[in-house]
Amino acid sequence: MDRTLAQFIKILRGSDVRISIPEALDAVRALHLVGYRDRQILKASLGQVLAKTAREKAVYAECFERFFSFDSFSGLKKETDSPEESEKTYPPIPPSENQNPLIQSILGRMLLEGDHQGLAVSMAEAARSAGVSEIVLFTQTALFTRRILEYMGWIELEEEITNLEFSDAPEGKTLAAKLEEERDYLLEEVRAFVDQQLELYSVEPTRRIREKSLRRIDLSRAEHRDFQQMQLLVGKMARRLTALHSRRRKIHNRGKLDVRRTLRENLAYQGLLLKPRWKMKKRERPRIFAVCDVSGSVQTAARFLLMFLYSLNEILPKVRSFAFSSRLEEVTDYFEGAPVEEAIPRILSACGSGSTDYGQAFVDFRRLCYDRLDHRSTVIILGDGRSNYGNPRVEILRQIFERARQVIWLNPEPRALWSYGDSEMNRIAPHCHRVEACSTLVHLERIIGDILRTAA
Amino acid sequence: MTELCREISDKFSSIEATRQGMEDLGYICDKTIASAAYLSHHLGKPVLVEGPPGVGKTELAKTAAEYLGRPLIRLQCYEGLDESRSLYEWKYGKQLLYTQVLKEKINDLLEGARGLDESMKRLNNFEDLFFSEQFLEPRPLLQALKHKEGVVLLIDEIDKSDQEFEAFLLEMLSDYQVSIPEIGTIRAESTPMVFLTSNNTRELGDAMRRRCLHLHIPYPDEKQERQIVQSRVPEVPEKLRRQLVSFLQQLRTLDLKKIPAISETIDWARTLVLLHTESLDIEVVRNTLNVVLKFREDIETAAPQLSRITARAVIES
């Protein structure tokens, strides 16, 4: 496979464009057909083969511009008119007549002649030999710059400059000064090139490592600067869950005749049973009531839970969200219409003051939507179960438990802490269908996935 | 046959040739669109065409068919479309007749057979005609596969169909074959050129996207739109054409519910020709705006801007 194309595909994958192996093979075939000659056509063709959604197309366009840019050395003074030829079929540097016999090294000659294409090709080759696509950290730039320069013939160039300075030839000194100037320019260009490569290649590994760690980080310890990235991750998770669960499945009960529907539908055929109708089960999407503790002790974790609720709102049409610290309020309306970064602080400031009072929260919840609960409802409660030694009124939770399909309690604290201090988890747990410790995004995803799957 | 093949490969000898050829048929397109048709032919892959409504997605397939000189088979997708309406159906009536005939002839066939065993043996010797291709009623997809010289198959608005149907299409799109349980696998006689269009009312699955080339057609730029109007409605005088296109380009920057596409531009050009309009003015624009804007709200949004846009369109050209 074409080296350049392979690298390009690697970069695209790093930027979150999913490319399967058959697609990569298609790209190779497409490349054979169109070639590198026309940049616009190349961009269009590879785009059709590799990027398959509007989002991917945008990412692709950006990567293409950065990857297939040949503007290195464009600042070089042109002394000889190099023939305009495409990058691939560029012939080896033609020996020109006004060649200075004093300059022996190829690199020096190219610099003096202003052969920017030759230099670009030579740099690309050197970069390949130096393995620049393995670059991961910015601390490696100096190393790779050095390596590329060496492959390009840096040492010979240095020697030549020294020789020229001490040579007897009349124009030796001026030539040396000129070469020195060009050498500095070369250094600058190569450094810029390596920086660009770093930007291209390092995105993927760095991001992957960060994402991995963010998914496992304790939610209550997440730092402010991680929020943005976490938000992206939460969104990604929610999208994946949507893709899995957005379909309403109907399960046909094969072989069981639905007598009523059959008779009704066949009335049109004078009661002759032409079209049998079978019984089927519909899987309904769960109706979720999410209750979230947003008091000071769990606020950081609550932020992510709210974030997730926000995304969940987009997956499931019937999510009602509530937030409480001392009193409980419905916050569904906050989510609608406002972007997540506005909605969450507003909820936190509206409900986040005061100390936790589970008793009052349950009373409010019962008042607001007890009669809305039925056998399809799932109630998710997110909180640490610490009621400041107040009465948690578990009898109301019991009523909810008996009425709803399932009650799930997610606690951001690890299980080991549940029975200490003012935690009421031991009294709460018997009145829930499931009690889970939920302190990382991985937990959260697993639990929500389970809820969606089992909601039959 | 080989001559036809050669002719077709001539038509797809390069992207530029493809573009030119389609332009000669009145379909103005840029290199991106031409390269999609070109790659589709050479890679033998279907093209998934996306873009706002009215930019010529369906037209692309029609033009490709005309360009190749092959018939166009169109399958319009809608909710509830299933394989009996897209792939094949049994000819029930004929099958019933066949059983009647069989009933009468069965005595002749089984004459002299002793016992049930022997009768069954004899029956087994006969070819099973009941589920055979004779009783198969081909629907668009099967027609496309069975066509000798290959066709252009247009699967229109795939996003309107159900997810099950999309999954069912996968076999057809990757290998150009379908499986009919009673008969077996039917392969394409010659690879059809397939276009799928989507307006993104539903997100298509990854599996579907992977099997297709993906082409996004945006609204055309001003120059291209002028060319399109010129090729489609040649009666429009040069001056009016410039004004009209400039007007629409400006209109598209407004916050509208349904942004007018090329089809609206063409309709409007035709309307203006019928009204013998020489040049745009605010009166004409007000009276004919409903050709371009299809929603009450949109007309209200645009109304206060009309005189400004018209003036600019007139000055610019």
8 Å CB contact between B168 and B83: yes
Considering the domain architecture, whether residues B226 and B299 belong to the same structural domain is answered as yes
* Measured distance CA(A135)–CA(A202) in Å, rounded: 6
Q: How far is CA A338 from CA A310, A318, A341, in A?
A: 10, 17, 8
Q: In what order do the strands lie in the sheet with B152-156?
A: B72-76, B152-156, B193-198, B47-50, B213-216
Considering the domain architecture, whether residues B125 and B6 belong to the same structural domain is answered as no
The helix (run of H) or strand (run of E) holding residue A141 is: helix A141-152
Which residue from A23, A44, A45 is facing B210, i.e. has the nearest CB? A23
For residue A278, list its beta bridge partners. Answer: A257
Of B99, B119, B134, which residue is a domain's last?
B134
Q: How many residues does chain B have?
A: 317
Which residue from A20, A38, A51 is facing B214, i.e. has the nearest CB? A51
Contact between B216 and A52 using a beta-carbon 8 Å cutoff:
no
The strand pair at A319-324 and A328-330 is best described as antiparallel
Considering the domain architecture, whether residues B67 and B184 belong to the same structural domain is answered as yes
pLDDT, mean over chain A? 77
pLDDT of residue B215: 93
Residue pLDDT, tens place only, A272-321: 777 778 777 666 666 788 888 888 777 777 777 787 777 777 666 678 88
Considering the domain architecture, whether residues B147 and B168 belong to the same structural domain is answered as yes
Helices A141-152, A116-130: axis angle to 10 degrees equals 120
CA distance, residue B31 to nearest chain A CA (Å): 6
Q: Which of B53, B87, B90 is nearest to B165 (CA)?
A: B87
* Measured distance CA(A314)–CA(A307) in Å, rounded: 11
Q: What is the ipTM of this complex?
A: 0.82
DSSP state of A354: S
Confidence band, pLDDT 50/70/90 cuts, at residue B38: very high
CATH of the domain at B151: 3.40.50.300
DSSP state of A247: S
Question: Touching check for B49 and chain A: CB below 8 Å?
Answer: no
Residue span of the structural domain in which B278 resides: 222-316
Of B187, B216, B245, which residue is a domain's last?
B216
Confidence band, pLDDT 50/70/90 cuts, at residue B61: very high
Confidence band, pLDDT 50/70/90 cuts, at residue A74: low
pLDDT, mean over chain B? 87
Residue pLDDT, tens place only, A163-211: 888 877 777 778 888 888 888 888 888 888 888 777 777 766 666 666 7
Per CB-CB distance under 8 Å, the chain B contacts of A49 are 39, 43, 213
Cα angle B88-B94-B100, degrees, rounded to a multiple of 5: 145
Q: Which of A443, A448, A408, A454 is nearest to A428 (CA)?
A: A408
Q: Work out the number of other CB atoms within 10 angstroms of the CB of residue A247.
A: 13
pLDDT of residue A245: 63
Query: In sequence order, what are the residues at sequence separation of 6 or more whose Cβ sits closer than 8 angstroms to the Cβ of residue A155?
Result: none
* Measured distance CA(A159)–CA(A266) in Å, rounded: 98
Considering the domain architecture, whether residues B111 and B260 belong to the same structural domain is answered as no
> When comparing pLDDT for A390 and B242, which is higher?
B242
Residue pLDDT, tens place only, A36-65: 888 888 999 999 999 988 888 888 988 888
* Measured distance CA(A119)–CA(A110) in Å, rounded: 7
pLDDT of residue A219: 62
pLDDT of residue A247: 60
Return contacts of A153-160, CB within 8 angstroms, 24+ apart: A153/A105, A153/A106, A153/A107, A154/A107, A156/A104, A156/A105, A156/A107, A156/A108, A157/A105, A157/A107, A157/A108, A157/A111, A157/A183, A158/A183, A160/A103, A160/A104, A160/A105, A160/A108
**Structure token pair of residue B116:** 């049930």
Residue A454 has pLDDT above 90, yes or no: no
pLDDT of residue A23: 92
The helix (run of H) or strand (run of E) holding residue A172 is: helix A172-216
Contact between A18 and B43 using a beta-carbon 8 Å cutoff:
no
* Measured distance CA(A121)–CA(A133) in Å, rounded: 16
Q: Which of B106, B11, B19, B123 is nearest to B68 (CA)?
A: B11
Q: Work out the number of other CB atoms within 10 angstroms of the CB of residue B124.
A: 8
Residue A104 has pLDDT above 80, yes or no: no
Query: In sequence order, what are the residues at sequence separation of 6 or more whose Cβ sits closer than 8 angstroms to the Cβ of residue A439?
Result: A218, A219, A220, A301, A412, A413, A414
Considering the domain architecture, whether residues B201 and B275 belong to the same structural domain is answered as no
Considering the domain architecture, whether residues B257 and B212 belong to the same structural domain is answered as no
SS3 A276: coil
Question: Touching check for B18 and chain A: CB below 8 Å?
Answer: no
Considering the domain architecture, whether residues B64 and B174 belong to the same structural domain is answered as yes
B91 alpha carbon, distance to own chain's centre: 27
Mutation for testing the A interface, residue in B33, B40, B213, B215 having most A CBs under 10 Å: B213
For residue A216, list its beta bridge partners. Answer: none
> When comparing pLDDT for B158 and A450, which is higher?
B158
Considering the domain architecture, whether residues B79 and B101 belong to the same structural domain is answered as no
* Measured distance CA(B197)–CA(B293) in Å, rounded: 23
SS3 A347: helix
8 Å CB contact between B36 and B47: yes
Contact between A18 and B206 using a beta-carbon 8 Å cutoff:
yes
Considering the domain architecture, whether residues B244 and B302 belong to the same structural domain is answered as yes
Considering the domain architecture, whether residues B57 and B148 belong to the same structural domain is answered as yes
* Measured distance CA(B209)–CA(A20) in Å, rounded: 11
Q: Which of A437, A424, A427 is nearest to A386 (CA)?
A: A424
Residue pLDDT, tens place only, B133-159: 888 888 999 999 888 888 999 999 998
Pairs across A and B, CB distance < 8 A: 56
In order, the DSSP letters of chain B are -HHHHHHHHHHTS-HHHHHHHHHHTT----HHHHHHHHHHHHHT--EEEE-STTSSHHHHHHHHHHHHT--EEEEE--TT--HHHHTEEE-HHHHHHHHHHHHHHHHHHTTT--HHHHHHHHHHHS---TTSGGGEEE-HHHHHHH-SS--EEEEETGGGS-HHHHHHHHHHHHHSEEEETTTEEEE-SSPPEEEEEE--SSPPPHHHHHHSEEEE-----HHHHHHHHHHH-TTS-HHHHHHHHHHHHHHTTS--SS---HHHHHHHHHHHHHTT--S--HHHHHHHHHHH--SHHHHHHHGGGHHHHHHHHHHH-
Lowest pLDDT segment from A24-33, A271-280, A403-412, B50-59 = A271-280
SS3 A187: helix
* Measured distance CA(A340)–CA(A331) in Å, rounded: 13
Of B216, B245, B275, which residue is a domain's last?
B216
Question: Touching check for B38 and chain A: CB below 8 Å?
Answer: yes
Per CB-CB distance under 8 Å, the chain B contacts of A35 are none
Number of domains observed in the structure of chain B: 3
Which residue matches tokens 């012939």? Answer: A91
SS3 A319: strand
- The residue type of B45 is K
Contact between B43 and A57 using a beta-carbon 8 Å cutoff:
no
Q: Determine phi and psi for B23, rounding to 5 degrees.
A: -65, -40
Q: Work out the number of other CB atoms within 10 angstroms of the CB of residue B178.
A: 19
* Measured distance CA(B256)–CA(B309) in Å, rounded: 15
Residue pLDDT, tens place only, B5-15: 667 777 888 88
8 Å CB contact between A348 and A294: yes
pLDDT of residue A348: 81
Considering the domain architecture, whether residues B76 and B173 belong to the same structural domain is answered as yes
Chain A residues contacting B via beta carbons under 8 Å: 18, 20, 22-23, 26, 29-30, 33-34, 38, 40-41, 44-45, 47-49, 51-54, 57, 247
SS3 A377: strand
> When comparing pLDDT for A456 and A359, which is higher?
A359
**Structure token pair of residue B243:** 């004004």
Residue A385 has pLDDT above 70, yes or no: yes
pLDDT of residue A89: 38
Confidence band, pLDDT 50/70/90 cuts, at residue A24: very high
